[in-house]
Amino acid sequence: MLAISGGQVMANTLEILTEIEERFDVKIVAVTSPQLYEELRRDNPAKAQEVLADDERQYVVTLHNGWPGFLYPFLLPADFQSRVFGMDRFSRSGKPGEIYRAAEFDAAGLRKKILG
C-alpha cells in the first residue's frame, strides 16, 4: 500500500510502478489532503474504509516530498484520533485564558478530554 501526496512524487512513482508490481501486490492512495480523509472517516466511515481499511494501515508506506508526519493519519492506529488532542480550528483573538477556555484547552477542558 502506498499513500502518496504530491503530483511529482506520484508521477515519479508511476514511472516505476511496473517494477513495484513485479514484487508487491500494491494499492495506491493519492492523498490530496489528510484532513479531508480524516473528515471522511468521521462523516462517512464506510466510504473511508473503502479508501483505506483499518487492517491495511500496518502495510502502508507513505511518500511525500515534505514533512513525513504530514501523512501520519495513514500510518497511525485507527483509534488515534481518540488519543490525540489539539487545536484544529481557527479561533478568535483574545486573551490566552479566554482562548484556551473556548478551545477547551484550559484545565477543565483538559480534564474532560483526558479523564472523560
For residue 103, what are the contacts with CB-CB under 8 A and spacing of at least 6?
87, 89, 91, 109
pLDDT tens digits, 26-85: 999 999 999 999 999 999 999 999 999 999 999 999 999 888 889 998 998 888 877 877
* Verdict on whether the full-model pTM lies above 0.75: no
Give the amino acid at 14.
L
Phi, psi of 63 (to 5 degrees): -130, 120
CA torsion angle for 46, 33, 112, 54 (degrees, to 10)? 40
